[in-house]
Amino acid sequence: MNKIYNPEPASWSTILERPTKTIDDIEATVKEIFREVQKKGDTAVAKYTSLFDGVAVANIEVSKVEIEEAIATISPELKDAIQLAKSNIEKFHAAQKTNIVSVETVEGVNCWQEKRPIQKIGLYIPGGTAPLFSTVLMLAVPAKIAGCNEVVLCSPPDKNGKINPAILYAASLCGVTKILKVGGIQAIAGLTFGTEIIPKVYKIFGPGNQFVTVAKQLATQFGVAIDMPAGPSELLVVADDTAVPAFVASDLLSQAEHGTDSQVILVSTSKKLIDAVEKEIQLQLEILPRKNIAEKAIANSKLIFVENDTIALELINEYGPEHFIICSEFDDFYSNGVQNAGSVFIGNYTPESAGDYASGTNHTLPTNGYAKNYSGVNLDSFTKAMTFQKISKQGILNIGKAIEIMAEAEGLQAHKNAVTLRLKAIENEK
């Protein structure tokens, strides 16, 4: 990791730069695949599955038999763990339900807001070397609580043309309505346009590599909403001498092992702690099965010393981390002062992996600094708010004149007339 001492604020944007490609580098590829899927549908999807995943899949829709076979291979211990995580995720997201907001703004003018589920949802679940079955729980559980009618899951097939059994078990457990063996750009394109096999959806959720992230952003140009531009994983830890170096190192490595383009950062007011964490990282790194991946991510990562907590907090808010761990004597200062973070973890016994799996919070979070303007996935992500109003005769009398004046000032005579006719009708009744 790169050690940096007392960086000047003017250098922060350079120091905190993410190790990702620019959109320009990959946008042309994404657009080409989108055009082909839009034009050729499932034929194009099959072509790119063969090209990128190295497998020809005869039937991309997962059958009930395949799901049953997969469930049979899951150990009782893993089933119990998944069910515990599902229960906690359900509790936390069910608690996010809101009541109808209703108010009489003036006598006779009643306005209210209700939430409605987004009917057709697409879930993208990464496969590859780390099949994220936990992400199924994070997305399908709130979708079900929200009442989404159609939940379509896409995940890349392995070399045998299958989806990881734990992904299938979690999907079955959470009520996913259709599972498809499709990954990458072609999956996002299929969900965007629809094919004979892949349903067109209204909103796409789920993390992915930089190609998937750009594909999701492109999908928005075709009338499909997305959860957020969620790219490679990242973690920032702020720690002082009250932190346990081994714990801090383990948290940094837990994100570094996600992918070579992941980034982890330690910000500390203690040079002693930075040195201790650096040694712990090297010790723990040696025994990791994904050492090669984590090593490359660590090369993109930083150990940053600053003089005081105020500077540290300013730097953290400038970075806007996806995951933010606080291991400090002054945890209230950081938890109250942080403005830009996807999810916050407080204390020596709150590892980031708790949020990844089983504490109940959602792990689908904004990266690449998008925590400055995006929320992580929550129950409201699967709904839209609709407003209603009902106005009585007295109500239109109370606000009608104001509407007429405003409409006329904007030069919209038909708007004014819509009110004038009603006011005259009420007057004629007298």
The answer on whether 415 is annotated among ligand-binding residues is: yes
The answer on whether 370 is annotated among ligand-binding residues is: no
Amino acid letter for position 420: T
The answer on whether 209 is annotated among ligand-binding residues is: yes
The answer on whether 17 is annotated among ligand-binding residues is: no
Token digits for 420?
A: 């004038």
Token digits for 99?
A: 């009541």
Token digits for 328?
A: 């400090």
The answer on whether 234 is annotated among ligand-binding residues is: no
Q: Is 323 a catalytic residue?
A: yes
Amino acid letter for position 303: L
Output the CA–CA distances (angstroms, integers) from residue 258 to 182, 217, 330, in the order listed: 21, 22, 29
CA angle 168, 260, 166 (to 5 degrees): 10
Output the CA–CA distances (angstroms, integers) from residue 348 to 200, 213, 247, 270, in the order listed: 44, 32, 7, 16
In this structure, are residues 342 and 365 in contact, taking their beta carbons and an 8 Å threshold? yes
DSSP secondary structure letters along 69-130? HHHHHS-HHHHHHHHHHHHHHHHHHHTT--PPEEEEEETTEEEEEEEEE-SEEEEE---TTS
In this structure, are residues 386 and 116 in contact, taking their beta carbons and an 8 Å threshold? yes
**b/e code 293-322 from CB counts within 10 Å (16+ = b):** bbbbbbebbbbbbbeebebbbebbbebbbb
Token digits for 160?
A: 């045998």
Q: Is 93 a catalytic residue?
A: no
Phi, psi of 146 (to 5 degrees): -70, -25
The answer on whether 202 is annotated among ligand-binding residues is: no
The answer on whether 25 is annotated among ligand-binding residues is: no
Q: How many residues does the chain have?
A: 430
The answer on whether 93 is annotated among ligand-binding residues is: no
Choosing from 93, 323, 352, 363, the catalytic residue is 323
Choosing from 234, 257, 280, 322, the catalytic residue is 322
Residue linked to tokens 């590599």: 209
**Binding positions for NAD(+):** 124, 186, 209
**Binding positions:** 124, 186, 209, 233, 255, 258, 323, 356, 410, 415
Catalytic residues: 322-323
**Binding positions for substrate:** 233, 255, 258, 323, 356, 410, 415
**Binding positions for Zn(2+):** 255, 258, 356, 415
